[in-house]
Structure formats: structure tokens, C-alpha cells
Structure 1
């Protein structure tokens, strides 16, 4: 999602933050056309959790979506929480260090580039070896290790056993600045 047109200072006026969750604040009557509309909104939403959990069609991606001030502009709660804490919109993507897109605790969020975000991914669900970047090379009868960084795939070698291939892959990840959680088991 891109930067919002909403000023970052408005986020603290609209929400309270506690334990990775945003709740709606009471809204002043100046934001409404009538006193009744203000009363109805505050009775219905104030002090309640903001947003809803959106699940992708495949069921693998989950995130909390929040609509602000009745506009059609939807926001990820992680971006709003980052803005609430730092007073400005994130410059890149928000990465969840532990991989749980519903864990929006500020200590779990990082403002990263797209390349940085790709260095903290789960294992692909189609992986058959159980180790990211390692596969069986049928023709050679050995384990092959490779890594992709900055859109360049690098061959790390072929190995007699999977442990050596995995060690080569992990060493390359450390050298290229991958997050320690990269390649963790995929949730289904």
C-alpha cells in the first residue's frame, strides 16, 4: 500500500494503541454534521477495536484492514501503527519480523524496502526438501543449494548430503543480510 493523503498527525487523534491493536477514540462533534450523528458514531465505535481481519482467497495471507473517516481508502493496521508511533508514514513496506501479519506489536514491525522484505519470507509451500533454497538434483544424485538476492540467482554448489547444502545456504543468507527468520516453515 502507498503513502496516505491523511496527515500522520491525524492518526493519533483517531486511534489509541495498546499491545499491537488500534482502537477508535471518541470523536468530537466538529467531525460530524449533527450532534446525533456524533452520538451514534461514538456509541457504536468509540473504544472498540478498529478494522477487520482480511483473509486472502488462498487463505494464506491475513492482515487487518482499517477504513478511515468513511472514505474508500483502506489501510493496513501495521502501517497505521508504525505511523502512530513514529509520527510519519513508513517510507517502504512494513515487515513483520516474526512473519505473523496479525502481530502488529511495534517491536515486531520494520520499515523496509521491497528487497529487504523479501529477505524475511516464509518457506514456499511447494518446497519438498524442507530447506529454503535446497533441492534434489536428480541427474547428479546430489543436493543443490542456491540463493536469489537483488534479482540475481547464485548457485552455491551441489552436496552429497542435505545438511551441507543447508549450511551453504544459511552461510549465504548471513553474508547477504537475510533476516534470521527467512525460510521458516510456511503456515497453511
Structure 2
């Protein structure tokens, strides 16, 4: 079965309001052209839909931490819809990265295009990790902290350290060198 195409940004703008300052998507009053004639007239179906959904927040189902939902039976992520409405085009095959790491914060200032590698860099330390820092783990056999970073699908060892914080700083230096602005740092610089 062929995958259904995504609605074009022009259609999205007819169906949804997007507030770029809050990141909230809201359903607009639905026109009758959306509905095909069936037993119940398109006007009646539009009236029913509008009475229930018009003006209400849209695409708020959270799956795997991201907001999303469906439009015309096509599953979509809210950040991609926000991008398409704001910029007038779908973000092609690139990922949308949430700069602050919060996948539910869809303000346009918090969204940026990223490669898969850049997007994967902007994640927190795994739950249940032996360290509170990203890229750091305890090596029981040697009694030291190890630092590492993944790049181009390979893990690179950055060394062993007596101090957990030293290992975290080694990770941060490598992350800045490799990922630049996309790096998720353990010790972010203080804002100016």
C-alpha cells in the first residue's frame, strides 16, 4: 500500500493556526471542501467537526516525547507541521532539532534543521547511566571514569579519568569540536 502524501503547507494553513511565539497549533474552523459527499452532507459534517474541535489545541498527542497526531489520516509530528506552516515547505528528509532539548517546545526559535547525527547529539544522558553526565561512564574494572563520544556511527574513546567532572569536560570539548552549536554540553556556558 502506497504511503499517503503529506498535505501541502497551503492546506495546513487552512486547517491550523500556528503561534510561533508559543509553539501552539490550534484547529481552525473547518471548511466543507474537506469532506466528500456521503450519506451526511459535507456541511453537516463540517458543522459537527467545528462544534467539537474548532479553536482547540491540535496535534497534542505525545508519543516518544514528541507532540503529534494525524491530518487526513496521515500521522505527523507537530514540530514538522509548525515548520511547514511557518516556512511554507516541509523540511524534506532533514530532522527538526529542538535546541533546548524539550521535544514538546515547538516555538519557531527553538526549532532548527539538523542532520540525523546532529539531532542525536542533542540528547540527555541515558536514564540508569552510571554517570550523571552525558558521554561519561564508570569503568569498574579499572576504577576510573571513561569519556567517549559517538560520531559517524562510531564510538570514540576520549580517555580515562580519576574525576567524573574531568571526564565530562573532555566530552564537552570533543562535542564542541565535532558538533559545534548542536552539541549537548554537560557544562553549558553562562548566558551573556
Q: TM-score range by the shorter chain?
A: 0.7 to 0.9
TM-aligned CA deviation for residue 5 of structure 1: 3.1
Cα RMSD (Å): 2.2
**Residues 123, 183 of structure 1: 8 Å contact kept:** no
How far apart are the structure 1 equivalents of 2:138 and 2:68? 40
Q: For 2:33, which of 30, 51, 62 is the aligned residue?
A: 30
Q: 1:40 to 1:176 in 2, by over 3 A?
A: same
**What is the TM-score with the length of structure 1 in the denominator?**
0.83
Matched, 1:39 2:47: yes
TM-aligned CA deviation for residue 123 of structure 1: 0.7
Equivalent in the alignment of 1:58: none
How far apart are the structure 2 equivalents of 1:150 and 1:183? 21
**What is the TM-score with the length of structure 2 in the denominator?**
0.81
SS across alignment from 1:164: helix
Deviates more, 1:173-182 or 1:119-128: 173-182
Unaligned runs of 5+ in 1: 56-60
**Residues 97, 111 of structure 2: 8 Å contact kept:** yes
State how 1:15-94 maps to structure 2 within 5 Å: 15-18=16-19, 19-32=22-35, 33=37, 34=41, 35-55=43-63, 61-69=64-72, 71=73, 73-91=74-92, 92-94=94-96
SS across alignment from 2:147: strand
**Residues 98, 181 of structure 1: 8 Å contact kept:** no
Matched, 1:6 2:14: no
Equivalent in the alignment of 1:176: 178
Aligned length: 176
